[in-house]
């Protein structure tokens, strides 16, 4: 066991986890701010027009807006029209709306890629079960499947494969999840805020496990005989 290397891996993963978690949280905050700005704009219009028959959410949601009007930034989406429907912007950016679900899926894919392509291999090297410089090939995976396994990462693999290879729908092997058991085959893999909070907490537990693995066992203290 290369305890010094485990210490380095702990620090690297701690930084990666913080990177992904703050990216997730700050994006969620951004979605909320954008949603609230559209809502405030609509409330101001309803207040201005008073009892007019069109001063209601249903009508205003069909009205157009631009990112510059709601964010102050002159940016244009890559679409057939720079004009956005206010209702669409609200729906995408509401709590657990489309944007937050896409964000969560991206985080799962990124984190699992870090594990599969780098961290798992480096743990194998630190344990001495594979050689330095090993790549993610069939032979390496066969060894790692015996010596470097983790239930959480196994579950994240099923989430990732459902997202990437099955258009975000839980594939049959989702039934093999041991910790994240909230999806059945055929379910949409919709990772809302509460689910992602738990997943990040579980990843923090794994980070702490790496910390423990970086410490050599202490010799027992014995009284002189």
Same domain for 46 and 12: no
Within this chain, do residues 7 and 43 fall inside the same structural domain, yes or no? no
Residue-level pLDDT at 21 = 98
Which of 42, 76, 93 is where one domain is finished?
93
Residue 71 lies in a domain: yes
Please tell me whether residues 131 and 201 are part of one structural domain. yes
Name residues whose C-beta falls within 8 Å of residue 195's C-beta, 6 or more positions apart in sequence.
Answer: 104, 182
Question: What is the residue range of 133's domain?
Answer: 3-19+97-213
In a domain, 36, yes or no: yes
Q: How many CB atoms lie within 10 A of CB 98?
A: 14
Domain-embedded: residue 41:
yes
Does any domain span residue 219? no
- Residue 187 included in any domain: yes
* Residue 133 contacts residue 146 (beta carbons within 8 Å): no
How much is the pLDDT for 15?
Answer: 98
Residue pair 13/119 in contact (Cβ under 8 Å)? The answer is yes
pLDDT of amino acid 217: 85
Q: Helices (DSSP H) in 50-174: which residue ranges?
A: 57-60, 67-71, 86-93, 98-114, 120-127, 138-147, 151-165
Question: Are 67 and 156 in a shared domain?
Answer: no
Q: Measure the CA–CA gap between 6 and 133, rounded to whole angstroms.
A: 16
Q: Which residues contact 33 (CB under 8 A, 6 or more apart)?
A: none
Verify that 103 and 76 share a domain, yes or no: no
Give pTM, 2 decimals: 0.91
Task: Tell me whether residue 26 is in a domain.
Answer: no
Co-location of 185 and 135 in the same domain: yes
169 and 188 in contact (C-beta within 8 Å)? yes
Q: pLDDT by residue (tens digit) across 52-94?
A: 988 899 999 999 998 888 888 888 888 767 789 999 999 999 9
Say if CB 170 and CB 189 are below 8 A apart: yes
List pLDDT tens digits, range 106-154. 999 999 999 999 999 999 999 999 999 998 999 999 999 999 999 999 9
Domains contained in the chain, number = 2
Q: Quick one: 12 and 67 in the same domain?
A: no
Asked which of 93, 111, 141 is the last residue of a domain, the reply is 93
Q: Is residue 25 a part of any domain in this protein?
A: no
Are 103 and 205 contained in the same domain?
yes
Angstrom distance (rounded) from CA 61 to CA 185: 35
Q: Which two tokens stand for residue 39?
A: 């809502």
Query: Within a domain: residue 223?
Result: no
Q: Please report the sign of the dihedral spanned by the C-alpha atoms of residue 123, residue 126, residue 132, residue 138.
A: negative
Together in a domain, 206 and 118: yes
Average pLDDT over residues 151-167: 98
Which tokens in the block code for residue 75? 């940016």
- Could you tell me if 209 and 149 lie in one domain? yes
Q: Which DSSP state fits 53?
A: T
Claim to verify: residue 40 and residue 120 sit in the same structural domain: no
Query: Does one domain contain both 156 and 46?
Result: no
Torsion, Cα 142 123 25 176, to 10 degrees, reads 30
To the nearest 10°, report the CA torsion of 12, 16, 19, 22. Answer: -110
């Amino acid at each position: 066991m290369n305890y010094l290397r485990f210490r380095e891996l702990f620090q690297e993963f701690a930084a990666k986890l913080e990177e992904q978690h703050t990216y997730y949280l700050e994006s969620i905050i951004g979605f909320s701010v954008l949603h609230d700005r559209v809502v405030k704009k609509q409330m101001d219009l309803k207040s201005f027009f008073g009892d007019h028959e069109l001063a209601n959410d249903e009508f205003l949601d069909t009205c157009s807006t631009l990112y510059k009007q709601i964010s102050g930034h002159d940016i244009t989406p890559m679409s057939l029209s720079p004009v956005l429907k206010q209702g669409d912007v609200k729906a995408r950016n509401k709590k657990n709306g489309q944007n937050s679900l896409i964000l969560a899926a991206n985080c799962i894919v990124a984190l699992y890629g870090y594990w599969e392509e780098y961290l798992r291999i480096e743990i194998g090297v630190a344990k001495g079960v594979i050689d330095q410089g090993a790549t993610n090939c069939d032979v390496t995976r066969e060894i790692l499947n015996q010596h470097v396994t983790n239930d959480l990462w196994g579950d994240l693999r099923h989430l990732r494969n459902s997202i990437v290879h099955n258009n975000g729908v839980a594939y049959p092997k989702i039934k093999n999840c041991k910790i994240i058991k909230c999806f059945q085959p055929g379910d949409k893999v919709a990772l809302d805020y509460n689910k992602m909070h738990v997943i990040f907490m579980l990843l923090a537990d794994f980070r702490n496990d790496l910390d423990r693995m970086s410490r050599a066992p202490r010799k027992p203290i014995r009284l002189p005989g």
